[in-house]
Structure 1
Amino acid sequence: MFQKRICTKIVSLLLVIGCLMSESVLAEKQKEPEAQTLYSKSCAMVDGDSGRLLYGKEAQTALPNASTTKILTCIVAMEQCKPDEVVTFSAKAASQPKVHLGAKKGEQFYMQDLWYGLMLESYNDCAYAIAEHVAGSAEKFAALMNEKAKKIGCTDSHFVTPNGLDAKDEQGEHHTTAYDLCRIMSYCAWKSPVSKQFLEVTQTRSHTFQSLEGTGYAVSNKNALLDMMDHVITGKTGYTSKAGYCYVAALEEGGRHYAIALLACGWPNHKNYKWSDAKTLFQYGMDAYHLYRGSEASMELPDIEIAQGCRKETLEEWATHAKLPVYVDTDITKLTFLKKDGDTAEIKKVWSDPISLPVKKGQTLGRVSYCMNGRKIYSGKIKAEVSVKKWSPEKFFQIMWKEALLDK
């Protein structure tokens, strides 16, 4: 009996120790990577849905970004061109430095094949030929790139070349930030109308094709993380002597979307630093953040009482106020974003003040912000569900006289 009690206590103690160790291991996994343990001078990880910055190390420092530029080149071209458009290499395109396809002046290709050369092998001449085909010149194409980056939400990026080679113009040097690059990748992977096409190209391991003249070419994917880490869905490497090794990638797992960007992540002979940093950030993201759905949030929008307002021109509706039902134009139940233990999600409502009559159906009356730790990640407009007119004594007597005549 005594031995049985001892055994029971030992088992209980071991279970407690096991639980404590498990909690300790989990806490360690969920701990943010220390900046000094990462090789990148600048890096970022964002929620691919909301765009919220989940981790950053000098994430908003402007730096050259080498061939990671090509994800923007690719998405602009995909949105503006059909895959079977014929692209002719100019002398300028054919003269672009390595790495390059090696096409000759006048050689022709289908646009889709150049996307593979651009994204799998990072060919500079493919980028230049695509840019000239889309916009007429590399300079005009750069304007399209900057316009697209601004629409995506980039705040400190300036693109000069379609291939990411170091360059500058009158507006400054070719650069972006890790945060902005994550925004661009999130758009390419999940938000663009051609995201499916983008992922199809960038997930391809190898591709063979011919020029219209019959010369054969073969390209293979240099994004090793596709096979090194589960759930990675796309990525692009880059290197120049000024930018160092750079990398941008996206991961999708269980409805969670992550984008990372690494800038200045080592120089020769440290080509593999980027894989180490990428795995560290992605693993931290998956361990620390869970999926939070808008349907978990509670938001009630009661009817607004409008003084001296009425929804219908009847005596029964005459009152000192009218109730105005409202709605939000963004369906919160369909929103998803990433949240970790300790994060605080809240909804903030700001009404237009004052709300004056008349109010038209669909009129914006305020805004709703969905915030995480006090920072806005989504917003929507509060709108009137019906129209409300302003009553006056004159209008009251007109309606009263009209209804009195009808009663006769």
Structure 2
Amino acid sequence: MKTIVSVFLYVIICSIQIYAVSAEEINLNAKAAVIMDAESGKILYEKSKDQKMPNASTTKILTCLYILKHCDLDQMAEVSKNAAMQPKVRLGVREGEKYKVKDLLYGLMLESYNDCAVVLAEHAEGSVENFEKRMNQMAENLGTLNTHFVTPNGLDGIDKKGRHETTAQDLAKIMARCIKNQQFLEITQTKQYTFTDGSRKRRFICNNHNALLSSMQGVISGKTGYTSKAGYCYVGAVKQKNMTMTFSVLASGWPPHKTYKWKDVRKLVQYATDHYERREIIADTSKIKEISIKNGLKEKVLLKTGNLKAAFLVKKTDKIKIESILPSFIDAPVKEGQKVGEIKYLINGKSQKSVPIYAKQSVKQKDYWYYFEKIIQRFTLTT
């Protein structure tokens, strides 16, 4: 009978645990997805975040960032035969034509033109192959560990080092860096842009295809992507409830399910805002004013601290605790600015930040001359 009861209880406990995990699952169409805090890089939700996958035109966010950092936007870029032969989607540039770099960036990010990407890559580094090396170095410097890009436009490709691919986490990391660039935001937030080629004989109108900019609160940037191998992809950024978050979805359906990616993004953002919040905390130091000194010329020394204001992105159920670590006394001598303790900010018992406590003034140690002077004073008083 005891065995039966034990087994029954075990089944109940396991069921509760399974239900608790399932309660936080999001039913996503994407094969891989991430939403993260753009400031700290903290992952708020993930699905197969480190799985390497093709990512189509979401690649263009790194191409854009590279050009913004390394090229003069007012320079003219000449179209090569290779660039003019790029497949759809394309602006339709012609060999020998010249375009302003800035204009090509709008074509790249608003309409996702593949030929614009190649013109920019060749202008920046002389060839697509050279640009590939540079953009991969840039990706590595941004802390992406599982990214390898072969093409500047995201078209599926392969070279000696592997195929064109990244991960949901790496893509969100790249976007977190992109949104720190004001020019990147200006381009990706533009609804419509008009420009001409260098001869002013051809005129083009580019429209922004990031539907979330006008349909979802707080969206500040984004880039779509699609190839037959990658499926529908999207990478973006949003500001809601005092949180700036970047997100990515990879392989979020194939035709005719073009809207799956939008649904997935809404679920990710809803999950993050339902479960997380940014809390600002200032430690109370009213009791941390001074500390006793042993063998010092003064009995106590005044204290000061660093910046006590801290902000954490935490789950709404997380517990934040502040601890002051300070001894009952310190030994002389004491130097101004000397660290004597610290204030710790803990989330669920784990330290997240520490602020040092310093001595506000110097205090010398009692030495032989001090005691000799005391003896002389006593001798003088007694006589």
State the TM-score, normalizing by the size of structure 2.
Answer: 0.74
C-alpha separation in 1, matches of 2:276 and 2:103: 38
2:25 to 34, 44, 47: 34
Structure-2 change in CA distance of 1:151 and 1:213 (3 Å): same
User: Matched residue of 1:176: which SS?
Assistant: coil
Q: CA shift at 1:367, angstroms?
A: 11
Aligned AA (1:286): T
RMSD: 4.0
- For structure 1, list consecutive stretches of 5 or more residues without a partner in the other structure: 1-30, 311-315, 351-358, 401-408
Which sections of structure 2, spanning at least 5 residues, go unmatched? 1-21, 326-333, 373-383
For the 8 Å contact 2:341–2:358, the answer to whether it is kept is no
Which residue number corresponds to residue 10 of structure 2? Answer: none
Does residue 292 of structure 1 match 2:279?
yes
Q: Is the 8 A contact 1:209 1:218 kept in 2?
A: yes
Q: Which residue of 1 aligns with 2:89?
A: 99
Deviation of residue 151 (structure 1)? 2.8
Q: Quote the residue 2:185 is aligned against.
A: 199
Give the C-alpha shift of residue 59 in structure 1.
1.4
Equivalent residues of 1:69, 1:163 under 8 A apart = yes
- Residue-by-residue CA offset, 1:275-312 (whole Å, 9 max, x unaligned): 111111112222332222254x568999999999x9xx
Distance 1:211 1:371, change over 3 A: farther
Shift of 1:343: 2.1
Name the structure 2 match of 1:124: 114
Structure 1 contact 301–327 (Cα < 8 Å) conserved = no
Structure 1 pair 163–204 and aligned structure 2 pair: CA distance change class (3 A)? same
1:170 alignment counterpart: 160
Structure 1 contact 93–128 (Cα < 8 Å) conserved: yes
Structure 1 residue 381 displacement after superposition: 9.2
> CA-to-partner distance for each residue in 1:66-102, whole Å, 9 max, x for gaps?
1111111111211222321221122222222111111
1:68–1:164 contact (8 Å) kept in structure 2: yes
In 2, the alpha carbon distance for the partners of 1:371 and 1:179 equals: 26
Q: Read off the aligned partner of 2:313 and give its amino acid letter.
A: L
Distance 1:369 1:65 in 2: 41
Structure 1 residue 123, shift from structure 2 partner: 0.8
Deviation of 1:60 (Å):
1.9
1:87 is aligned with what amino acid? A
Indicate which of 227, 243, 256 corresponds to 2:230: 243
Query: CA separation in 1, counterparts of 2:32 and 2:74?
Result: 38
Confirm or deny that 1:142 pairs with 2:132: yes
Between the two proteins, what is the percent identity of the paired residues?
43
Q: Which of 177, 180, 199 is residue 170 of structure 2 equivalent to?
A: 180
Q: 1:64 to 1:372 in 2, by over 3 A?
A: farther
Inter-partner Cα distance in structure 1 for 2:343 and 2:170:
25
**Structure 1: how far apart are the matches of 2:294 and 2:136?**
48
Q: Once the 2 structures are TM-superposed, how far is the Cα of residue 202 of structure 1 from its aligned partner?
A: 0.7
SS in structure 2 at match of 1:125 = helix
Q: Once the two structures are superposed, what CA deviation does each residue of 1:39-82 show, in whole Å capped at 9, x if it has no partner?
A: 00010111122111001111121211111111111112112223
Q: Are 1:304 and 1:326, in contact at CA under 8 Å, matched by a contact in 2?
A: no
Q: SS of 1:166's equivalent?
A: coil
Aligned to 2:318: 343
Q: CA deviation at 1:360?
A: 11
1:229 matched to 2:211: no
**SS in structure 2 opposite 1:158?**
coil
Q: Are the aligned partners of 1:33 and 1:281 in contact in 2 as well (CA < 8 Å)?
A: no
What residue identity is the alignment partner of 1:211?
D
Distance 2:288 2:203 in 1: 63
Number of residue pairs matched by the alignment:
346
Q: Residues 149-181 of structure 1: CA distance to partner in whole angstroms, max 9, x if unpaired?
A: 233222222222211111222222222111111
Q: Tell me if 1:75 matches 2:52.
A: no
Give the C-alpha shift of residue 373 in structure 1: 5.4
Residues 98, 197 of structure 2: 8 Å contact kept: yes
- Letter matched to residue 314 of structure 2: K
Q: In 2 relative to 1, CA 148–366 (structure 1 residues): closer, same or farther, beyond 3 Å?
A: farther
2:197 paired residue among 201, 211, 229:
211
What is the deviation of 1:225?
Answer: 1.2
Query: In structure 2, how many angstroms separate the alpha carbons of the residues matched to 1:173 and 1:305?
Result: 65
Equivalent position of 1:56 in the other structure: 46
* Alignment partners' CA distance in 2, 1:165 and 1:363: 58
Which residue of structure 1 lines up, in the alignment, with residue 34 of structure 2? 44
Deviates more, 1:139-148 or 1:249-258: 139-148
Over 3 Å counting, the alpha-carbon distance change for 1:50 and 1:373 in structure 2 is farther
AA aligned to 2:316 is: D
Instruction: Kindly indicate whether residue 270 of structure 2 is the aligned counterpart of residue 280 of structure 1.
Output: no
* 8 Å CA contact retained: 1:98, 1:124: yes
1:12-56 C-alpha deviation (Å, 9 max, x unpaired): xxxxxxxxxxxxxxxxxxx96524x21000101111221110011
Matched letter for residue 220 of structure 1? N
Q: SS at 1:68's partner residue?
A: helix
Contact 2:55 2:225 in 1 (8 A): yes
